[in-house]
Chains A and B, each alone.
Chain A
């Protein structure tokens, strides 16, 4: 029977490559990032997500795991429309989280965020 989804491939996190630095920076800049429970409401409502597999929940997961290689380019798919902020059951300032993720994963940070 096809349920439309399948079991994920198992993956292991390479702790030598994973770094918590970016998560720490994002958390300091936007503390509400900490309370994310990964419910996925943001991806369900996402305007960009309708056209492309852009997914804020996944970005959050990748940042928290320290697997931030592809995160920067991924974050730029956001249209910043702000629906996810209104829908978030945890009241996370999602737009600012996204801007922070984008900024702190940039090869050369362009913006001076304190």
Chain B
């Protein structure tokens, strides 16, 4: 290897972009970390000098380079992302290795590894040299394959399991097109130069082909110029594009592994989540408002973009969401977008809590087990009756906390951003629970169950009735037979994805019915469309979502569709002819 040049003006566009992006990133990371609360900064500091940093490094490798979570969703999509990210990473690493091996005195020139083949030439072919050339060409081929797939994805995204993709804005487009241009231009530049500097199967091969009909010598510098301009433009466009996810996701992974969680404000961690969104659009297909009600533009990816750019009606966008958590489940970056939306909703609390003075004085209920049916159960009284039968059969000393209708748990208000008003209900209900001396609170509605667990600080355990029934059966307090019915279980959002209760209902159902599998269960469970998380969705749109979910769930024609949420039951009952029952009702049937 021999050095031909040390500098050429064509490195300037690259260097301009490179210096700019380094300054921007350093400033960005400093300001992001300064935004974190003091305790989080301490956690971050501690985690950097602990084993956690290795966990983070591994996760960064697996997610940012290999894109494991995307692979799990769709292999082609994962391959596309991996080819570009990992291929590019290899090009950078191998480029630096080349510089260290052949001209260690140039390691302080950031542009040297990028334009290595222009500055260096192969004088005698060695095994080491040809191996590196081969690896570099292989990495380049990998990236080019990824870009080819990305181009094809623009035409036919279904090949990669995506029905809909994100509609990009100008900044994203500029950055994306320049990123796509970088690698073919690199191939051209290296091919034209391959007669002088040498190359491997790809660059030398293309070089020979080009030689047969153009003068490679004359095209060398224009091609390197183009390559440098494309790289520089990409770096300049990066801050206004989705490609900020590359550095932001790495930071997010480090913070998450340090034990830092999203808070009740979007500053700090939330902001880093915003920048970590790559606008890949996986959440668009996951969202049932988009899949069933054609509200593609109301999906999380667009909300995230509006929030990051602070444009458009962000509050309206935050409200147009069922808060079912399907997008959070699908997100390959692990962004808790429901939390981001809730924080936007919270900012506009406007009910004056004094209006709840009408609440009756707390009457003391003394009991062992307190049962909170919830508003929605009062609307579907069959569930409450079934639970009372089960309590009676098990011989439990129980009392209803909301006999004939009680005070709402507060979650619907909370989801509407009225946290101060919700606090009044939390206080009132807590009062009733504490005065009862109960050892256990059982809730029938997952909406209530979630808020009891998360926002009430209760000294007693809270169970959803599916968990309680499982416990009763295990204890032998209730004996059940088999109904002989075939059943599909629908995971209510607030019980499954949002609270992590997946197994108890299945354990119970397996004993009393023939539980059938569906492809929409556990984390992939569907939303019935009835969610109290969304106040703006029209009745018609809700019906579309409910019908679509019902259709997907009952493809195998089960005798009954079983759910564990009164709201899901009511919503599905109105969406079709399928018999829908709550798990408590099925258990009562099996007890007879």
What are the 7 closest A-B residue pairs judged by CB atoms, nearest first?
A91-B539, A52-B358, A76-B355, A79-B408, A81-B375, A80-B412, A50-B405
B537 & A93 in contact (Cβ 8 Å cutoff): yes
Footprint of A on B, CB under 8 Å? 313, 315-316, 348, 350-352, 355-356, 358-360, 375-376, 378-379, 404-408, 410, 412-413, 416, 418, 421, 425, 530, 532, 535-540, 567, 570-571
**Complex: A56 Cα to B413 Cα, angstroms:** 17
Q: Is the CB of A32 within 8 A of B539?
A: yes
CB contacts (< 8 Å) of A85 on chain B: these are 539
Say yes or no: B350 contacts A111, CB within 8 Å: yes
Establish whether residues B358 and A114, one from each chain, have CB atoms under 8 Å apart when the complex forms.
no
| A76-B539 contact, Cβ under 8 Å, with A81-B408, A83-B379, A87-B379 | no
Which of A32, A76, A113, A114 gathers the greatest number of chain B CB atoms within 10 Å?
A76
Tell me if A86 and B379 are in contact (CB < 8 A). yes
Residues of chain A within 8 A of B416, CB atoms compared: 80, 95, 99
Chain B neighbourhood of A110, CB < 8 A:
348, 350
Binary contact track A82-104/B, C-beta < 8 Å → 1, others 0: 11011100011101100100110
Q: A50-B404, A83-B378, A110-B348 are in contact. Are A96 and B536 (CB under 8 A)?
A: yes
Contact in complex: B536, A77 (CB < 8 Å): no
Chain A binding site: helix, strand, loop or mixed by DSSP? Answer: loop
Q: Once the chains are docked, how many angstroms separate the CA of A48 from the CA of B406? A: 8
Closest Cβ of chain A to B520, distance in Å, is 23
Residues of B within 8 A of A13 (CB): none
Per the CB 8 Å criterion, the residue count for chain A at the interface is: 33
Residues of B within 8 A of A112 (CB): 313, 315
User: Which residues of B sit under 8 angstroms from A103, Cβ to Cβ?
Assistant: 350
**A82 CB contact (under 8 Å) in B360, B412, B540:** B412
Among B316, B351, B360, B532, contact of A114 (Cβ-Cβ < 8 Å): B316
Q: Report which residue of B315, B356, B540 has the largest number of chain A beta carbons within 10 angstroms of its beta carbon.
A: B356
Interface centre among B352, B355, B358, B567 (most CB of A within 10 A): B355
Inter-chain contact B408/A47, CB cutoff 8 Å? yes
Q: How far is the CB of A92 from chain B (nearest CB, A)?
A: 7
Which B residue sits closest to A109, measured CB to CB? Answer: B350
Give the Cβ gap from B63 to chain A, nearest Cβ, in Å: 38
A-B contact pairs, 7 of them (CB 8 A): A51-B407, A77-B358, A79-B425, A82-B532, A83-B375, A83-B379, A93-B535
